[in-house]
Amino acid sequence: MDIKKNLPGHLATINAHKAEVMRLCFKVGLYRQGLLHDLSKYSPAEFISGVKYYDGSKSPNTVERNETGISRAWLHHKGKNRHHFEYWIDYGTNSGTAMQGLKMPINYVVEMFCDRVAASKIYHKDTYTDAMPFEYFMKNRGHYMIHPDTERLLGKLLLMLKLYGEEDTLCYIRDRVLKNRVKY
């Protein structure tokens, strides 16, 4: 681990990500969630690992998982942050029911949308397009343990971003999804 090299880059990355999620959350009216987003990344359980496995091109959690077989930082992160669908995995209510994705509250689905857009912007920098978050979602969705309604809403919002752009999608989220609390 090269702390002198990795620390500034990792800190800049999480600060930029947090700032972008905050900007997006504020545009849809999720002020509290924007302010509190990903604060666990500054905790020792996540920050030290983030510095150690930082490479600037992908999540340190991916690097840690590839090197050690497990990302303890990710396990901590998903257990503390409700905007990750993995937070909402539990056993079903019927006896003997397998683990399943639970339906997420709509405000956390919107924060998850903002998180994915921000992550794509931060990691792809100048090559980012509004299609990237949707493409990532489609490429990986086959192995997600996510409630079908949550997956459908997230997919719809990411597709809207791809087709109509950020401003129109954020207006739709603010005025239709959150303001009217549409059933999903």
* Residue (of 69, 136, 150) closest to 104 by Cα position: 150
CA distances from 40 to 10, 17, 35, 73, 111 (A): 14, 13, 12, 10, 15
What is the amino acid identity at position 142? Answer: G
Q: Do 81 and 87 form a contact (C-beta atoms < 8 A)?
A: yes
Rounded Cα gap, residues 55 and 58, in angstroms: 7
Summarize pLDDT for 7-65 with one digit per residue, the tens.
999 999 999 999 999 999 999 999 999 999 999 999 999 999 999 999 988 899 999 99
Regarding pTM above 0.85, the answer is: yes
- Those residues whose C-beta lies under 8 Å from the C-beta of residue 129, and which sit 6 or more positions away, are none
Summarize pLDDT for 139-165 with one digit per residue, the tens.
999 899 999 999 999 999 999 999 999
DSSP 102: P
Residue 1: the pLDDT is: 64
Tokens of 5: 């090299």
Residue 28 three-state SS: helix
pLDDT, mean over the chain: 95
Q: What angle do CA 175, 17, 51 make, to 5 degrees?
A: 155
User: What is the percent of the chain where pLDDT is above 90?
Assistant: 88
Residue 179 has pLDDT above 70, yes or no: yes
Count Cβ neighbours within 10 Å for each residue of 57-71 and write b for 16 or more, e otherwise.
Answer: eebbbebbbeeeeeb
Summarize pLDDT for 102-126 with one digit per residue, the tens.
999 999 999 999 999 999 999 999 9
* Residue (of 43, 41, 85) closest to 59 by Cα position: 41
| Torsion angles phi and psi, residue 91, rounded to 5 | -70, 150
Residue 57: the pLDDT is: 84
Q: Do 131 and 162 form a contact (C-beta atoms < 8 A)?
A: yes
